Amino acid sequence: MAHLDSHAVEITKEQFTVPGKAKMLALGTLIIGAVLTIIGVFTLPADSHDKHASNGGVVKVATVANPQDTGAKTDAAHTATVPGHGTDSAAPHAAAAAGHGHDAGHGHGDAHAADPNLIVDNAGHVTLLPKPTHKDPAHAKPAMTRFWANLLVNGYFFLVISIAALFFVAVNYIANAGWSAAIKRVPEAMYTFIPVGLVAVLAVIIFARYDIYHWAHYEHLNPAKGSADYDKILAGKSGFLNSNFLIVGTILFVSIYYLFGLKLRSLSAQEDNTQKGDTSFFRKMTRFSAAFTVIYGFSISVLAWLLIMSIDAHWYSTIFGVYNFATAWVTSLTLICCFVLFLRSAGYLKIVSDEHIHDLGKFMFAFSIFWTYIWLSQLLLIWYAQIPEEVAYYYDRFNDPQFKIQFFANLVMNFIAPFLILMTRNNKRNPITLGIVAVILLIGHWNDVYLMVMPGSIGSAAQIGVLEVGMFLFFLGLFVYWVLQALTKRSLIAVNHPYIEESAYHDVGP
């Protein structure tokens, strides 16, 4: 909706220069993060499992109730002593190593009768013991695995945020949205960070995949079929879960995204230098945006499966890709809002009004609800179905008291807080309120990705310490500094965008 004010809005090019304080703040955050990360690395224990070594070879594994028992869900941890094994919080992942154990509860347990990892008592309770091949006690992980896991959390987090910013640009083109023309240079600058996120993720999968992804260690061992170490599920997924596809697929998908981003950014720059009223570049950008959106819509799920879901290789969720998109999308919208608010406070983006801020606030509010819908859908279906290889994923996040606190903090930060705070119209237009919600959402969705990675990669060795805080601050400072520098490369106002005047007079109504 647009309206005409009593005075005309002047639409002119604005060349951004990074204010000294903003540059110092970004670089300061980066440097502090780097120092804390180095301290965290040098203070890592000699063995990330040391704090569990005194448990006398006791392994805690999940005991999953008979699915036919509608009155019970997941029982308390069942403790079994396994010779030669230490405590491993990742043990519940062995649910799938034992096969589809839920069949036993339905009278179809014959296929698993010879499986020493599957124990069914007279009450119908299924206990799944860990296989000693590729899981943690036998394949002891070095303390540096915690560093690599944190690098994956932060690299992936800011990578998908950057890709979602590109999606924001593309979806507004194919929707013929006029309101966003005034702020489009912000997401254009944000998606230039894609190569940095890719480098961080590639470093993890090249140098630490055998420790982060237990299926990669299994692939490296390559046990023969029928041997004690053979894992039917991992062998069945080897066509998808293999090192070549992990590396090549990640590079391929992200490179395609980035090439589309480069093309759209180039056409946007050319549009600035054309004559007013020339829509040829706009039409080209719309076509490229449509192509990108189709590719992105299909491939982003595959990227999430490869990089994140395969950490818990025996577990799967049909909406995991959508869940990752929701996390990236709402966080990207949040950071777009933050940069727009900063630029306005610095005297730039003069044609951006409270109406644009209101729209960004509505997006943050609405997609926080969308994220919660996906989060709850995944949780409730798994809780109700009670299939062991699926329940194990949530068991890991409840078994450790630290993960349990973060699990519920996830819901508070990513839904309850933004929902309650942004319900009113005034709060959606208030920069201070939006800033507070933005901080909550940024930390909340980082915590969301943390919970996707840590339980399956390093288990209870995970903790929020100097290393975790430092690496998050490092990536945040680097991201902010990178985007601010990218904003200086061209005018903040796309003066020849066909809808720039509509955007300048944008009004969301009373």
Q: What pLDDT digit, counting tens, does each position of 144-165 carry?
A: 999 999 999 999 999 999 999 9
For residues 388 and 64, is the Cβ–Cβ distance under 8 A?
yes
313 phi, psi to nearest 5 deg: -65, -25
Distance separating alpha carbons of residues 211 and 202, to the nearest angstrom: 14
**Higher pLDDT residue, 238 or 8?**
238
State the amino acid at position 293 in one-letter form: T
pLDDT at 329 over 90: yes
For residues 505 and 4, is the Cβ–Cβ distance under 8 A?
yes
- Mean pLDDT value of segment 227-256: 93
For residues 487 and 186, is the Cβ–Cβ distance under 8 A?
yes
For residues 84 and 132, is the Cβ–Cβ distance under 8 A?
yes
Beta strands in 98-173 (DSSP E): 118-120, 126-128
* Domain boundaries along the sequence of the chain: 20-46+141-495, 56-128
60 phi, psi to nearest 5 deg: -95, 125
Helices (H), 67-111: 94-97
CA 271 to each of CA 163, 189, 264, 470, 499: distance values in angstroms, whole numbers, following the listed order: 23, 16, 10, 41, 13
Instruction: Using only the alpha carbons of the chain, give its radius of gyration.
Output: 25
For residues 33 and 477, is the Cβ–Cβ distance under 8 A?
yes
pLDDT at 213 over 50: yes
The closest of 510, 483, 475, 504 to 36, measured between CA atoms, is 475
Residue that is written with structure tokens 């706009």 in the block: 282
Instruction: State pLDDT tens for residues 156-202.
Output: 999 999 999 999 999 999 999 999 999 999 999 999 999 999 999 99
Distance separating alpha carbons of residues 165 and 261, to the nearest angstrom: 10
pLDDT at 124 over 90: no
CA 326 to each of CA 42, 75, 445, 456: distance values in angstroms, whole numbers, following the listed order: 35, 31, 10, 21
Identify the pLDDT of residue 4: 45
| Residue 222 CB partners (closer than 8 Å, separation 6+) | none
pLDDT at 82 over 60: no
The closest of 77, 91, 80 to 136, measured between CA atoms, is 91
User: 354 pLDDT band (50/70/90 cuts)?
Assistant: very high
Q: Work out the number of other CB atoms within 10 angstroms of the CB of residue 56.
A: 8
Query: b/e string for 430-464 if b means 16 or more Cβ within 10 A?
Result: bbebbeebbebbbebbbbbbbbbbbbbbbbbbbee
pLDDT at 6 over 60: no
pLDDT at 84 over 50: no
| Residue 319 CB partners (closer than 8 Å, separation 6+) | 374, 377, 378
- Three-state SS for 12-48 is CCCECCCCHHHHHHHHHHHHHHHHHHHHHHHCCCCEC
For residues 406 and 446, is the Cβ–Cβ distance under 8 A?
no
pTM for the model: 0.83
Q: What are 168's two structure tokens?
A: 């924001």
Q: What is the mean pLDDT of the chain?
A: 83
Residue that is written with structure tokens 């206990």 in the block: 127
Identify the pLDDT of residue 309: 95
Q: Work out the number of other CB atoms within 10 angstroms of the CB of residue 198.
A: 21
Distance separating alpha carbons of residues 177 and 188, to the nearest angstrom: 16
Identify the pLDDT of residue 140: 65
Element spanning 64, H or E: strand 63-64
Of the chain, the end-to-end C-alpha distance in Å amounts to: 11
Identify the pLDDT of residue 381: 87
Identify the pLDDT of residue 122: 53
Angle between helices 243-272 and 194-207 (to 10 degrees): 170
Residue that is written with structure tokens 């949205």 in the block: 177
Distance separating alpha carbons of residues 280 and 271, to the nearest angstrom: 9
Distance separating alpha carbons of residues 30 and 232, to the nearest angstrom: 45
Identify the pLDDT of residue 316: 87
User: 7 pLDDT band (50/70/90 cuts)?
Assistant: low
Identify the pLDDT of residue 103: 38
Length of the chain: 510
Element spanning 328, H or E: helix 320-345
State the amino acid at position 224 in one-letter form: A
For residues 229 and 131, is the Cβ–Cβ distance under 8 A?
yes
Identify the pLDDT of residue 154: 98
Identify the pLDDT of residue 226: 84
Instruction: State pLDDT tens for residues 473-484.
Output: 999 999 999 999
Q: What are 483's two structure tokens?
A: 């985007």
For residues 472 and 445, is the Cβ–Cβ distance under 8 A?
no
The percentage of the chain sitting over the pLDDT mark of 90, rounded to a whole number, equals 65
Q: Work out the number of other CB atoms within 10 angstroms of the CB of residue 287.
A: 11
pLDDT at 65 over 80: no
For residues 116 and 97, is the Cβ–Cβ distance under 8 A?
no
pLDDT at 54 over 60: no
User: 121 pLDDT band (50/70/90 cuts)?
Assistant: low
Residue that is written with structure tokens 């100097």 in the block: 466
Identify the pLDDT of residue 93: 40
pLDDT at 315 over 50: yes
| Residue 204 CB partners (closer than 8 Å, separation 6+) | 148, 151, 152, 155, 212
For residues 211 and 145, is the Cβ–Cβ distance under 8 A?
yes
Identify the pLDDT of residue 119: 47
Residue that is written with structure tokens 């310490």 in the block: 465
